[in-house]
Every structure is written in structure tokens, then in C-alpha cells.
Structure 1
Amino acid sequence: MSVARCSMVALVVALLLAPRTQAQGDPLATLRPEHPRLLITADDFEQLSERRASDPELDAMLSQIVEAADSSLDAPLLERKMTGRRLLSISRQARDRITQWAMAYRLTGDERFAKRAEEEMLNVCEFSDWNPSHFLDVGEMAAAVGLGYDWLYDQLPADSRQRIREGLRDKAVALIENDYWWQRTTNNWNSVCYGGMAIGALAIAEDEPELARRVVEMAVANNPRALREYEPDGVYPEGPGYWNYGTTYQVLLIDTLRTALGDDLGLCTPALESSGAFVAHATGPTGKTFNFSDGGDRVGAPTALFWIANEANTPAWAKATARLTSSRKRKRSSAFDPLWRSPSPESGEPLALSWRGRGHQPVAMFRTSWTDPNAMFLAAKGGRASTNHGHMDAGSFIFEADGVRWAVDLGGVNYNTYEQKGINIWDRKQGGERWKMYRYGNWTHNTLTVNDKEHNVDGFAELTNYAPLIEDRGELEVDLSKVLPDVQQASRQFVFDAANRQVTINDQLEGVKPGAEIRWTLVTRAKVDIDGNHVTLAQDGKQLAVTLDSKTSGSWTATPYDPPEGFFGEPLKGVTVLTWNAEAPESGACEMTVTLKPAS
């Protein structure tokens, strides 16, 4: 579907969403009667096999899936083993195993794969439940069992089909009648839970039409809440890592509706498509992402990006990201990759070297090349801390050059580790326990801290000036006035100077109480050497010069990452928190300019 078509659909949905299903009748009226009908049909499976001979990249993908399926054939049956309050790891193992085995059977005809998928589906359907108290677990398990049931429908004995169908109904689909908070939320839970539930419901729709109808109607009514989070430019507020999670299930929801019902019912939006640009531009020359919020920096080539790139007719997004991450082996072989991958060559305009995205967490990225692994790369953000999975990171940035990520974002923590200690890491209010997680606060992000205080959690940092990279120069300004406590005005300006191969960061504070402590922070995994106002970072045989210029007197300090008393977390070996510390002068105005220049 083109962007233009998505735009028209989005407009119609905005006007008619509430009465849509009633006005147009039964959403199941166009249900494809035969199986498989979720994401792929029998003809599609045949075409995949036929294309292998002329498409080496596709052949490699399919071979990897079959190899992964074969390697797990002898794995023991999954157990309903909780990790803290979650069954999620078991649900994900079930999804990977069952979809790989089912696809491997469709590709090879080897009945071992079909039999093993049947055994695992029967096994998980015997669990007491799929842990609805943490409904992501249900959503992912419903996707696993629903796809296995659908893709192997004709291979399953009648008795097994019935038992799997009943398990899917009782442990997932029928729960749509209950009232859960995720049904109306805006974050990744909406996409994951509705995506999984739609797969489960439409897999068994001919036998459970009322429940299937209810799931589809609920999804059409409430999933747009999650879609609005991508507006206006595609920036996912929870960061690239959670984009991969939430958007994969968003795409599963849309594609399931299309293949099963012939219509996505308005759940394709221009902002969703634009998120492909966000993920591509957020991936640096090292292959790591700009991992703000709780996500890690090693996302890899995101599965959903294949689909997004096709929808937007911009295969360059997926191809550029795959190229940047090609040196890293993916954690999982996704059975969805060959379904969504475009066979078309990279075409159209080349990707720009800079990009700005507005929204709840506005960001901007600049780079000197898409193909040079030693390219210079800067990514910076505004936004607020109180968004889902958010950190106190307004004004923060990451910086790469010479194949090294010099300024890093440490990302999130293992949730269960701290939940088991009774720490409420989800308390995002001002002074909430979340901000006692050392790596979540402003103290360990590449931003400013005033008087050792938290950022204002609901203060929004706008990107007030953005100049794209033209003639080797790009600029970005972030207004931090509503984020930093104890200041009247605060701004941070980035200048990306490709010609001189350097980045300058100019901070200006006004209305600061004289004597207030001002701290400039850069977190790094490099070795740090301080010489007056000059700092040299060294890593992997490369160097970065960090130079500070300010009329306000201050000094550099390099401290190993180790949460101080009153904060939660563990020391991180090899991580240094580099800070410049100063006191505000009598004028209440402070300006500092830091230059980052690769010295290799």
C-alpha cells in the first residue's frame, strides 16, 4: 500500500472510526475460508520455494530458518516456568520454535517439523494459563499457537486441532471479554496484545466467530491509540529497541487483517510508515542504535522494517540498516523475514545524511556516510522523562567516529532483577523510585545537571532549531528550559561540522542562582586522560579529543561507573562518567562549548 493510499485510509478512519464496524457490517464477512490465511497463503508458500533459486538472499534466509528449526527438534518441551512475574521468555521461545518448525515443514515437507510443532502446541495448551496478569505473555503465546495452528491446519489430526483450538480460545481469545488496562493504552502493550490476540482469534474464527468478531472490533476501535504515538514523523517514543518490539506486532496485526480479511480496516497510517526512516537513521555506522529509553543498542536488522520499507516503497531503509548491522549475527531467525522482505533492488533517492523527527521524544541524527564504517555520527534528543520506558535524558546524545561509539547511552536494566528486590522501577513521577536507578537519571546521561537535582519529569525539551546537513554542516538546538531545575532559560546547540570532522556542543544557561552547581556529562567506555581543560579518550587504538571553552571556571572529573549511596544498580566495568563541574557565576549566566574531534 502506498503512502498516498495510507493517507486516504487514515483520513477516512479518523472520520468514521467509531461506527465503522456497525456501518459496514460483519468484519468477518470477508474471512478467507481456507488455511493458511494468516500472513501467508498456500500459494505464497509455493512462491517462496520457487523464488529461492533466483534469489540468493532469500535462499539464505530460508535456509537459516530450516537450520534453526532442525537444531531445536530435540529440545525438551517447554515448561510453565515464571521469571518473576513474567512467562514472557517461554512465550517467545514458543513463538520462535513453532513458527520455525511450521515454516520448515511448508518449505521441506519433512513431517518431523510438523509433528514437533504439534507437540509443542499441545504442550503449551495444557499450561494452567498463559499468565494474563502480565498480558504480553498471552499476546505472544497466542501469536505462536495461532500461527502454528493456521500454517499447519491441514497437517494436524482432528483431535489435535480441537485441543489446540480450545486451548487458544480459553487461554487467550476468550479473555477479550475481560477489562484490561492494555486495551486502551498507547504504548507497546497495545500493539503486542492486539496483534497476538488477532492472530489467535482469526486462526479459529470459523469455530469461534463471536469471539473473533469481538477481538477485531476491539482492535479497530483501540489500536489507533498506539498508532498515534508514531505521529507526526515516525519517532517511536520508547526508542528503537521497543520500536522493534511494538512495531513487529503492529505489523503482524495489520498483515493478519489483510491476509485473513482482505482489509487492514484502517490500521495503516503514514506516521507508522515514516517510522522506517526513524529506525534507519537511528542506526549508527557501528551498527548500534541510538538506544534512548530502556532499549539496548544492538537491535540488528529489525524484522518489521522489511514490511515498513515495502509499504513506504523505500527499500533503502531496510537495506541500509541491514548493511550497517551485517557484522552482527541476529539473536533469532525470524520466520517473518522472508514474508516481508522486498525482492526489489534498492531504488529511488539516496538516503539523506541527516534527519529530524518530531513527536513525544523528538530526535535528530547526522552522519557523514551511509557506507563508511568510520563515518562520523551524531544523534541527539529532546522530549520528556515521564514517557513509557523514558529516562532523564533530554538534551543527551551519542557520538561515533572511526568505528567507535565514544559517547554512549547505557540503556535499561533487567527489570526482574530489581522488581524482585521490591524496587518500583515503573514509578515515573517526580522523585519516584524509578529515578533512583542510577542509569535512568540525568547523572548518567550525556546531558546537563543543575544542583545535583533530577530533571523535571514532565518538562518537555523541544527541538527549537534544526538545520539539515548541507554543505558539510548541520545544526540542532534543544530548549532545556522546562527540563532543568533552578534555571530560567537553558539551551543546547549542536553543530555537526563534517568539513572539519568535529562536533561542537554549546550550552547556555541564564537565571541560575549564583553558586549553583552545573555539571556537564559524557558517559564513555573509552580510557580517559585529563589534562587541564583538554581530555583525550582512547579506545580500540583510536582517539577522540574533548576540549572545553568557558568563561566559567570549572574542572574535569572522570569517575568509574558505580552507583553512589542512595541509588540502585551495579558497577559497570569499563564505563567512565566524565563530568565538567562548575559553579554558576554572580551574573547567573553560564556558557560552555565542548568540541569533540576524532584525533585518529
Structure 2
Amino acid sequence: MKINKIYVGIFFFIVQNLVFGQIKDAKMPSHPRILLLEGEENAISKNIAADPTWASLNQLIIDESNKIIPLPTLERIQIGRRLLDKSRECLRRVFFLSYSYRIIKDKKYLERAEAELVKVSQFSDWNPSHFLDVAEMTMGVSIGYDWLYDDLSTSSKAIIKEAILKKGIEPSLDKKYNSWLKASHNWNQVCNAGMTYGAMAIYEENPTLAQQIIDRAIESIKLPMEDYKPEGAYPEGYSYWGYGTSFNVMFLDAIQRVFNTDFGLSATAGFLKTAGYMQNMVGSSGKNFNYSDAGNGSGLSPAMFWFANKTQNSSLLFTEKQYLQGKDKSMHRDRLLPATMIWGKDISLEKVTEPKEMIWVGQGKNPVAMMRTSWSKPDAIYVGLKAGSPSVNHGHMDVGSFVMDANGERWSMDFGMQEYESLESKGVKLWGMAQNSERWQVFRYNNLTHSTLAFDNEFQKVEGYASINHFSKNLNFLRATTDISAVYKDKATSVNRGVAIIDKKYVLVKDEITATEKETTVRWAMLTPAVVKINTDGTAELTQKGKKLQLKVSSPSNITLKTWSTQGSHDYDAPNTGTTLVGFEVKIPANSSISLDVLLIPEENKVNSKTKILPLKDWK
């Protein structure tokens, strides 16, 4: 172990202090050189003229730019430890305005962008103690500086250039602020992308420093890109895929355009497959599989257009096309939205086809399985099964949890994240990941509030890990299984969960448990937004928006269904109104085994009484 630590230390000393020579003596094109080279606006204009959907998106960006023009410029107002909302809004404003200027050449966009650029460049700093703030601000300012370079005033260019160097790049060389160079999560991707944009924007001022920054990023970003192995499942979940992966792609595209190579980075095992993960993460209800620190919404992802281009797979845009044509109400808030026009400029949306696969499985740090009965039918059944570990960055104690959609509604849900500042402002030490960390006391974060199991009302083991053991593409028995024993160590010798869609009609959740030498009580629970009615026949009727679903326990036969409150016990816990935990408890004698079989049956669907529930060993 000591030898390994020495090698790791030497590696990161090199990363932070030396030039790797990947881009040494490379010829840097003139401005604009980042993302959209000079003259490439023509391809965007042709696409706009040929396709009303692209024309509509282009107009949305211009309309939003017009709304930005009368807004006051940003002020340096920090919220808690973060300036991040200001950095993100700067990136959004500058990207939108700069795009609008390049497409229609109206100087009002140039003038408003220049005012924003000068204002943020005169902030005292960009908050390097929370370096994401610096990274996003640097990216936004660098895009504006590069894209508008020929038309910015000399005085403005001097102010902006100095800010990129002094408030962006130079703090990244300080060990107090650059621990993200060693991280394998989204911070690495975002910060390396931001610093690279800064280095490209002011390359001529100090080519040696710029080369060092870009070379450093090419090496450092390999760490998070390794986490996509082997099939592309992103460990941090849906929302952070949208963050980390999007900035990773912004980085890759920028270096590819300037150096005509991405230095083999996109060929990293699993990386190009991750678009399939993202696409399958959205259920038939329109909500995403929001495990870990994620919200439950979904929307257009500009990065998906980069992946579709790179892989020449138009079916990856099946859902994105729906977002575009459905006029997603939140698109204008996406600070990277103009990149969609850049990466989509050679894509004909008419050629986008429906995906063929009905199940997607990815292993890695946080394995998942997602299955569905259709991509296009609004009443389709969708199930997402989560394995993995609570110890993953932004992780929850949600191993074995599942979400389920049917008839356009979500029946088994996940709370996802609680807004960080609401916890940090109350003194909650949110980022500790040890077994006894305060993080797990947050109501939404432990397994007692997820659609999974709990033994004697105790938390899952943080160091535990589960993979997806088996899965099948059989359309009449779509299924996946996971051995989740490791997160219930000391409570059970064996805990296996399988989830299946049977005959395209209903869902089966099957657990097989063997107790230790001590008696234990297992609680099976499902978190739902539906109104729950416990029936006299032992079933539960779930109702929402006039639609119904039946929860039926097939085994054991003598259980009593019940509900639990979803109100947390701490003053810092978010309100969880309109939600219920429904399930049951069973005592398992020492050294004995039990099977829990639960059916989730959408209304108008019937269970074939002759269908035998197979033991998990036969699901292989």
C-alpha cells in the first residue's frame, strides 16, 4: 500500500506541475476556436432552414437572449459557501447572447454580452474555495471572449483576459483549491473543462501555461472517465450525468476541434455507451430513475446530440426529439442549450428511429437495470432496479430500491436529493460517508425511506456492494436480479432481489432471504405518491390522477399490509407531502429462509393464476 501511495503521489505531482507535451508546439487557430469555428454558423443556418424543429429551437435561444438584454448584470452575491448560481447564470447568459450574435449579427447581443463579461470579470474573485464556481464562470467568460473577440473593445478584452488568468486559471494551480484533479467524480470533469476553455481562450498570452493546463486536463480527466466502465452506467446518477458528462463532452469536443484529436479519451471503455444509460434512465411517466442525489424531472440533454454524432446512432435521440417537439418548458434554463445547435447541425431529426432494446443493464460502481414494455406507448410499464453501494459519491442507502411506472404515472418512487443549502445551513455535515456519518440521518438518504428492505429498522452497510447478477431480454419475462447481502451484513446470510415484468402486464418483486443465527424482522416497503387503501382481502389499492394499481403479496400468505409516515424527525428534513410508504413486516426465525413475492398490477391487467413464480435460481 505504501508503494502504491508513493506512485499516486508522483503521478499527481506530474499532473499538477509539468507539461505532458501532448499539445506542445500545436498550432492554435485564430478566434473563434472554441466549439464553433469561424464559418460553421453556415451549417447551423442550413439546418434551421431545412427543419422547423431546429428553427424553433434556434428561435427559442434568440427569444431568451432578448429577455436577458434588459436584465441587470450579475452581482457577486454568495449563498452559503457557493457562488455557483451566479457562475451558472453567467455561462447561460453569455452562451445564449454570443450564439445569437454569431447567428444573426445583431450588435445588441454583443453589447449585452460584453457588459456581462466586464461585470463578472471585475468581481473580487470567482470563489475558488468552491472551485465549481470558478470552473463554470471561466467557461462562460471564455466562450464570450473567444466568440466575440474580433468585436469586443480593446479595454474590455484586457479586463476579461486578466480575469480568466487571475481568477480562473491561476487559482487552479494552488493546491488549496485543486483537489478535484485527483477526483473521479463530476468535479474533475467540470473543473478540467472550465480551465481548458480558459487556456484556449487566452492561449496567445502565455502558450506554455496554456499547454500545461490543457495537458493536465487530458491526463486528469481520465480518472472520472474510467468510472464509465464497463457499460456506461454513471455512478452518480441521472442529474450528475447531466452535469459531469455534459462538461466532459464540452471538453472533448473543444480539444477535438482545435487539435483534430481527443487523444483517445472518447475511446475509453464504456464512455460512448453511456448515452444508452442516460436514455434508459427516463421512464414512461417522463420522470427519471432518480436514485442518489437527483431530482425526478427530465429534459433535453445537449450532450446526447454529441453522442449520437459520435456513434452515428440516431435512435439515441428518440426521447430528445420528443423534448424538442414537445417544447420542453425548461429548455431555456439549460446553460449549455446552444451546444445542441452545434452538435445537431448535421443531424436530420426525421431520421431518428425508435430504440429496439427493452432492457439496459450496466455494472460498475453503481450497477443498474432498466426495463420497459414499450418506448412509444403511453401506458407502458417501466422498472428501474438499483444495486451498487451507498459509498459512491452522492450515494444514498438505496441498494435494492426500484422505481416503477405504468399508465403514465410513477407508482414506486424515490425522493432523490434534498437541496444542499437547506441542510448545510442547519449545520448538517452532509458529505461524510462513514457508517455513522450524519448524512444517513437525513430522512431522504437512508434505506428506511426507499423502496427496498430494512432489517430491524437498521441502516444498510455503507461498505456493502451489489452487482446485477443476471438479466434477460425475454419480452414476456424481462428480468434482473441482484445479490444485496453485503449491505445487510450481520442481519442475514443471504439476501437476493429480483424484479421482472411478466407478460408485459405486471411487475413482480421477489426477495429470497436467509437469516443468520439470530431472529430478525424484515420490512418490505415501497415509497409511492399514490393514495393507498388497504383492502380487507389483504391487497392494497393505489390511486393517483384517476388511475389505479393493485399491490398484492403472493408470498408469504399471512402478512398484513400497513403504511408508514414519510415525515422526517429532524427540523432540517424536507417536507414530503403527498407520499406514503406501504408494505409489511415479517419475522424470520434464526437460520431459516423466506421468500417475499409482491405483485404490482396496473388496472385492467390480470394475473394469470397458472403462472408459476420461479425461484431466483431459475431466473438465469
Q: TM-score, normalised by structure 1?
A: 0.93
Structure 1 CA distance, aligned partners of 2:351 and 2:278?
A: 17
Residue aligned with 1:482, SS? helix
Deviation at 1:57, TM superposition (A): 1.9
Output one character per residue of 1:6-49: Cα deviation in whole Å (capped at 9) or x when no partner: xxxxxxxxxxxx99x99994615334331111001121113212
8 Å Cα contact 2:317-2:352 kept in structure 1: no
Select the residue among 169, 178, 191 that pairs with 2:174: 178
Residue aligned with 1:90, SS? helix
Structure 1 CA distance, aligned partners of 2:135 and 2:292?
A: 23
Q: Which residue of 2 aligns with 1:354?
A: 359
Structure 1 CA distance, aligned partners of 2:247 and 2:298?
A: 16
Residue 434 (str. 1) matches residue 430 (str. 2):
no
| Higher mean displacement: 207-216 or 451-460 | 207-216
Residue 336 (str. 1) matches residue 336 (str. 2):
no
Select the residue among 390, 414, 424 that pairs with 1:409: 414
Residue 41 (str. 1) matches residue 44 (str. 2):
no
Residue aligned with 1:132, SS? coil
Structure 1 CA distance, aligned partners of 2:22 and 2:529?
A: 57
In the alignment, residue 82 of structure 1 is paired with which amino acid? Q
Structure 2 CA distance, aligned partners of 1:513 and 1:426?
A: 35
Select the residue among 45, 48, 58 that pairs with 1:52: 48
Q: Which residue of 2 aligns with 1:588?
A: 592
Q: Which residue of 1 aligns with 2:214?
A: 216
8 Å Cα contact 2:403-2:410 kept in structure 1: yes
Deviation at 1:297, TM superposition (A): 1.7
Structure 1 CA distance, aligned partners of 2:401 and 2:572?
A: 21
Residue 301 (str. 1) matches residue 304 (str. 2):
no
Residue 150 (str. 1) matches residue 146 (str. 2):
yes
8 Å Cα contact 1:552-1:582 kept in structure 2: no
Q: Which residue of 2 aligns with 1:196?
A: 194
Structure 2 CA distance, aligned partners of 1:189 and 1:576?
A: 35
Residue 395 (str. 1) matches residue 394 (str. 2):
no
Structure 1 CA distance, aligned partners of 2:417 and 2:388?
A: 17
In the alignment, residue 473 of structure 1 is paired with which amino acid? F
How do residues 108-147 of structure 1 correspond to structure 2 at under 5 angstroms? 108-147=104-143
Residue aligned with 1:399, SS? strand
8 Å Cα contact 2:31-2:147 kept in structure 1: yes
Q: Which residue of 2 aligns with 1:82?
A: 78
Q: Which residue of 2 aligns with 1:482?
A: 486
Deviation at 1:265, TM superposition (A): 2.1
In the alignment, residue 185 of structure 2 is paired with which amino acid? N
Structure 2 CA distance, aligned partners of 1:285 and 1:42?
A: 41
In the alignment, residue 221 of structure 1 is paired with which amino acid? E
In the alignment, residue 351 of structure 2 is paired with which amino acid? E
Q: Which residue of 2 aligns with 1:506?
A: 510
Q: Which residue of 2 aligns with 1:577?
A: 581
Deviation at 1:513, TM superposition (A): 5.0
| Higher mean displacement: 325-334 or 435-444 | 325-334
Residue 518 (str. 1) matches residue 517 (str. 2):
no
| Higher mean displacement: 430-439 or 207-216 | 207-216
In the alignment, residue 168 of structure 1 is paired with which amino acid? I
8 Å Cα contact 1:512-1:589 kept in structure 2: no
In the alignment, residue 388 of structure 1 is paired with which amino acid? N
In 2 relative to 1, CA 160–570 (structure 1 residues): closer, same or farther, beyond 3 Å? closer
Structure 2 CA distance, aligned partners of 1:514 and 1:400?
A: 37
In the alignment, residue 296 of structure 2 is paired with which amino acid? D
Q: Which residue of 2 aligns with 1:227?
A: 225
Output one character per residue of 1:138-178: Cα deviation in whole Å (capped at 9) or x when no partner: 00001100000011011101121111001111000122321
In the alignment, residue 413 of structure 2 is paired with which amino acid? V
Unaligned runs of 5+ in 1: 1-17
Q: Which residue of 1 aligns with 2:4?
A: none
Residue 280 (str. 1) matches residue 266 (str. 2):
no
Residue aligned with 1:82, SS? coil
Structure 1 CA distance, aligned partners of 2:161 and 2:253?
A: 21
Residue aligned with 2:87, SS? helix
Residue aligned with 1:590, SS? strand
Output one character per residue of 1:54-111: Cα deviation in whole Å (capped at 9) or x when no partner: 1222211111110000011010110111111000000000000011111111111110
Structure 2 CA distance, aligned partners of 1:519 and 1:472?
A: 29
Deviation at 1:116, TM superposition (A): 0.6
Select the residue among 529, 533, 557 that pairs with 1:529: 533
8 Å Cα contact 1:513-1:584 kept in structure 2: no
Structure 2 CA distance, aligned partners of 1:33 and 1:443?
A: 56
In 2 relative to 1, CA 299–363 (structure 1 residues): closer, same or farther, beyond 3 Å? same
Residue aligned with 2:510, SS? strand
8 Å Cα contact 1:174-1:211 kept in structure 2: no
Q: Which residue of 2 aligns with 1:266?
A: 264
Deviation at 1:512, TM superposition (A): 3.9
8 Å Cα contact 1:395-1:492 kept in structure 2: yes
How do residues 3-14 of structure 1 correspond to structure 2 at under 5 angstroms? none
8 Å Cα contact 2:308-2:314 kept in structure 1: yes
8 Å Cα contact 1:552-1:591 kept in structure 2: no
Residue aligned with 2:492, SS? coil
Output one character per residue of 1:461-515: Cα deviation in whole Å (capped at 9) or x when no partner: 12111112x242212111011011411011011121134x011111111024554
| Higher mean displacement: 251-260 or 94-103 | 251-260
In 2 relative to 1, CA 222–545 (structure 1 residues): closer, same or farther, beyond 3 Å? same
Residue aligned with 1:75, SS? coil
Structure 1 CA distance, aligned partners of 2:188 and 2:366?
A: 19
8 Å Cα contact 1:173-1:211 kept in structure 2: no
In 2 relative to 1, CA 84–456 (structure 1 residues): closer, same or farther, beyond 3 Å? same
Residue aligned with 1:83, SS? coil
Residue aligned with 2:329, SS? coil
In the alignment, residue 220 of structure 1 is paired with which amino acid? I
Output one character per residue of 1:384-420: Cα deviation in whole Å (capped at 9) or x when no partner: 0010000101111100000010000110011011101
Residue aligned with 1:564, SS? coil
8 Å Cα contact 2:280-2:370 kept in structure 1: yes
Deviation at 1:561, TM superposition (A): 1.4
8 Å Cα contact 1:491-1:509 kept in structure 2: yes
In the alignment, residue 198 of structure 1 is paired with which amino acid? T
Structure 2 CA distance, aligned partners of 1:300 and 1:23?
A: 39
Q: Which residue of 1 aligns with 2:60?
A: 64
Structure 2 CA distance, aligned partners of 1:48 and 1:131?
A: 36
Structure 2 CA distance, aligned partners of 1:107 and 1:534?
A: 60
Residue 104 (str. 1) matches residue 103 (str. 2):
no
Structure 2 CA distance, aligned partners of 1:426 and 1:22?
A: 32
Structure 2 CA distance, aligned partners of 1:348 and 1:529?
A: 41
In 2 relative to 1, CA 61–189 (structure 1 residues): closer, same or farther, beyond 3 Å? same
Q: TM-score, normalised by structure 2?
A: 0.90
| Higher mean displacement: 192-201 or 45-54 | 45-54
Structure 1 CA distance, aligned partners of 2:42 and 2:328?
A: 30
In the alignment, residue 290 of structure 2 is paired with which amino acid? N
In the alignment, residue 150 of structure 2 is paired with which amino acid? D
Select the residue among 550, 555, 564 that pairs with 2:560: 555
In 2 relative to 1, CA 514–589 (structure 1 residues): closer, same or farther, beyond 3 Å? farther
Structure 1 CA distance, aligned partners of 2:260 and 2:281?
A: 33
In the alignment, residue 63 of structure 1 is paired with which amino acid? Q
Q: Which residue of 1 aligns with 2:319?
A: 320
Residue aligned with 1:400, SS? strand
8 Å Cα contact 1:385-1:458 kept in structure 2: yes
